Amino acid sequence: MTSPTSTSPPRTNRRRGMVVLSATLATALGITVAAVTTNASAAEVPLSQGKPATASSVESAAFPASAAVDGNAGTRWSSTFADPQWLQVDLGSTQSIARVVLNWEAAYASAFTIQTSANGTSWTNISPVTTGRAGEQTLTVSGSGRYVRMNGTTRATPYGYSLWEFQVFGTTTTPPTTPPTTGPALPTSDRPDFGPNVRIFEPGTAASTIQSAVDSAFNAQLRSPTAQFGTQRHVFLFKPGTYGRVWANVGFYTTVAGLGLNPDDVTINGAVNVDSGWNYGDEKNATQNFWRSMENLSIVPEGGTNRWAVSQAAPMRRVHIKGNLTLAPSNQDNGQGYSSGGYLADSVVDGVVSSGSQQQWYTRDSRIARWDGGVWNMVYSGVQGAPGNAFPNPPHTTLATTPVTREKPFLYIDGSANYRVFVPALRRNSAGASWPNTAGTSIPMREFYVAKPGDSAARINQALAQGLNLFFTPGTYQLNDTIRVTRANTVVTGIGYPTLIPTNGNEALNIADVDGVKVSGITFDAGTVNSPTLMSVGRAGVHTDHAANPISLQDVFFRIGSSVQGKATTTLAVHADDTIIDHIWAWRADHGGAPTGWTVNPGETGLLVNGDDVLATGLFVEHYQKYEVIWNGNRGKTIFFQNEKPYDVPNQAAWIGPRGNGYAAYKVADNVTDHQLWGGGSYAYFNVNPSVRVDRAFEVPNRSGVQLRSVLTVSLGDVGTIANVVNDTGGSVPNPAGNTTPRNVVAYP
């Protein structure tokens, strides 16, 4: 915490100190002190434990709302020092509430009520105005609701409101959201129908037929004002073999992939091409070339070079480029052609990779002949042939290996014309591509439920209860309830940017604290009713060792505001220890098919990490209104971080954080003792009000175990101010030299 001022008295774990003192005195007097259990009884677990919690405010990131429902009486929520304040928990479905137990810290409420709500908006009191007290307080109440909150109106101390635990007890009044395993089994097949948005080609298919299909998909988007946030989805799958000239321009929500067990099983002569010049309103550059992908094939590029001028959420995985690869648009040399991606993994490029105008890029576990170029932040881990570590001149940050990897599951077709999903095995300290001879497990498609747009959350949960994995086909999925994954090693994957949209303020996807769940290829859109979280992994306060078989997330993308005028407090919450986060883009939209704005599509935090030993490789988080990444877990690691601060801050008064002007992009909690980040950039573009400033881009505790390497800030077009890079170190942008010049910190501390 910052040093106390005359108006903010010192505040160091007052309640915990009182407990320790009491125990010490008891020991001295020879009195046996019984341990205090977290729950009301050993066998009774609160309905609220581990559920999503939100609050009107927090004193700092060290005291989040989730700490009051984590079942740990040593962690707490604490508000800012003002009235009124509230803390609420989302029980997930309507419950009958009989009892609420509040374990107050010394900073308690002298006046509060307990309230319930069906929708998180309209509230009903189920207790009279009540006076709190330090310690445990039990209230017998009667009411029902999905949301329960403590609504504090008057503080008993100069501090805020602070609860070690907020426990809600009662009984379920609606059927459980996970259906029983009884009833007719859902159908599966080794040769499923993937739906009308998936085209499958084989070597005997006429080249003209393939070209007509890819042209039709792309030309419908050419300079279209609606395509960027449209409902169109296209997947082009190629069975093993060699294909004559195909020039595939790749637009929004389009995937081109091979169906071989190895990339070289499918060879395309021609190009899988992304360029600028086609996006409506942004024809001069490639900074909005989002949501497209290429996987599991080889390309013999026409003219010797394949172009992939993409930005966020546009991965290239498991690809063999038999020539050169350029990542910049064709018009990059005339003061135009900016690009702002991207992600490359598990691939081989026989020739030179030229990054050109790419402002930042992350490459992982690949092999290249040479890399040319670099603007601000180019990061490599486990890349054979990568340039040497030289940040900031040139701006290359290079790690010889990646600590832990598990490549993304992929669809392929076997020798009997049956479809299967291959799940690559875990690798440690990896370098180079995983193929050929990738270690892993092959799962037949009959062990998957193939979901299609129109499927309900209940039907999808029924498939999970049946013991099936999930395979989402392209399209949008309206979900009025949470999809809950509770079985270890479940695979949840999708092709063609299937998009999950919660419609009831619910969480879209919840992963239990179990080993080895793999989630990949899924996009989340916040719905019009605010969701406390869009996806959570594990349970808050539970620290199970998953190191031998971690949960992994790959190519998972989140949006608040798109074609939907969405709202969400936090998009991704990771509670489970050892989780691998491999390429996500969490984006509070600065533009969309629906209107966007400071009060229109609100979102506080993109990524919340409470788990220990969590690794993020390729972390893109942009435009959230408070701390964009909050890292509470210990021994966390991030390799590559890209951020833009919110564009639309209306004025400075609307954006004051716990430690001054604005909120850092990347916040490591004050109690963390071990954390590492390599290659992180945060950019400001306060175009609504250029006088806005943020005091720092990275906010971390000053400890030797917390280390940042190769971090920078930029004021894009010199619009808006970031006063320092890390804490009070690094200097301000706009840099006095102008011309969008970055500030760099090579190492901190």
Q: What is the residue-averaged pLDDT of the chain? A: 91
pLDDT tens digits for range 619-678: 999 999 999 999 999 999 999 999 999 999 999 999 999 999 999 999 999 999 999 999
Separation CA 534–CA 412 (nearest Å): 30
Q: Transcribe 466-484 into DSSP letters.
A: TT-EEEEPSSEEEESS-EE
| Exposed / middle / buried, residue 90 (Cβ in 10 Å: 0-12, 13-18, 19+) | buried
Q: Is the pTM of this model over 0.75?
A: yes
Which residue of the set 165, 295, 644, 699 is catalytic? 644
Q: Transcribe 219-238 into DSSP letters.
A: HTTTT-SSGGG-S--EEEEE
Q: Which residue has the higher pLDDT, 25 or 109?
A: 109
pLDDT number for residue 554: 98
Token couple for 651: 């004025």
Q: Are 722 and 372 in contact (CB under 8 A)?
A: no
Does the pLDDT of residue 269 top 50, yes or no?
Answer: yes
Does the pLDDT of residue 175 top 80, yes or no?
Answer: no
Separation CA 538–CA 545 (nearest Å): 12
pLDDT number for residue 183: 53
pLDDT number for residue 176: 41
Which of 4-30 are b and which e, b meaning 16 or more Cβ less than 10 Å from the residue's Cβ? eeeeeeebeeebeeeeeeeeeeeeeee
Q: Rounded mean pLDDT of 411-419?
A: 97
Does the pLDDT of residue 4 top 80, yes or no?
Answer: no
Q: Rounded mean pLDDT of 389-415?
A: 98
Q: How far is CA 155 from CA 31, 67, 162, 445, 618, in A?
A: 34, 20, 10, 58, 43
pLDDT tens digits for range 185-212: 899 999 999 999 999 999 999 999 999 9
pLDDT number for residue 460: 98
| % of the chain with per-residue pLDDT over 90 | 82
pLDDT tens digits for range 303-349: 999 999 999 999 999 999 999 999 999 998 776 788 998 999 999 99
Q: Rounded mean pLDDT of 145-166?
A: 93
Which of 558-567 are b and which e, b meaning 16 or more Cβ less than 10 Å from the residue's Cβ? bbbbbbbbbb
- 447 annotated active-site: no
pLDDT number for residue 623: 98
pLDDT tens digits for range 368-401: 999 999 999 999 999 999 999 999 999 999 999 9
pLDDT number for residue 172: 55
Q: How far is CA 642 from CA 141, 494, 645, in A?
A: 47, 25, 10
pLDDT number for residue 44: 60
Separation CA 196–CA 217 (nearest Å): 13
Q: Which residues have CB under 8 Å from 548's CB, separation 6+?
A: 515
pLDDT number for residue 413: 98
pLDDT tens digits for range 78-119: 999 999 999 999 898 888 999 999 999 999 999 999 999 887
pLDDT number for residue 421: 98
Q: Rounded mean pLDDT of 570-577?
A: 98
Q: Rounded mean pLDDT of 226-240?
A: 97
| % of the chain with per-residue pLDDT over 70 | 92
Q: Transcribe 58-105 into DSSP letters.
A: -SSTTS-GGGGGSS-TT--EE--SSS-EEEEEEEEEEEEEEEEEEEE-
Does the pLDDT of residue 507 top 90, yes or no?
Answer: yes
Q: Which residues have CB under 8 Å from 42's CB, separation 6+?
A: none
Does the pLDDT of residue 11 top 90, yes or no?
Answer: no
Least confident range from 5-19, 283-297, 384-398: namely 5-19
| Exposed / middle / buried, residue 344 (Cβ in 10 Å: 0-12, 13-18, 19+) | buried
Q: Where are the beta strands (DSSP E) in 407-472?
A: 410-413, 419-424, 426-430, 440-444, 448-451, 469-472
pLDDT number for residue 550: 98
The C-alpha R_g of the chain, in whole angstroms, comes to 26
pLDDT tens digits for range 30-70: 322 222 233 333 336 789 988 888 898 889 888 999 899 98
Does the pLDDT of residue 2 top 60, yes or no?
Answer: no
pLDDT number for residue 318: 98
- Residue 737: CB atoms within 10 Å: 7
Q: Which residue has the higher pLDDT, 272 or 24?
A: 272
Q: Which residues have CB under 8 Å from 301's CB, separation 6+?
A: 270, 271, 321, 322, 323, 324, 325
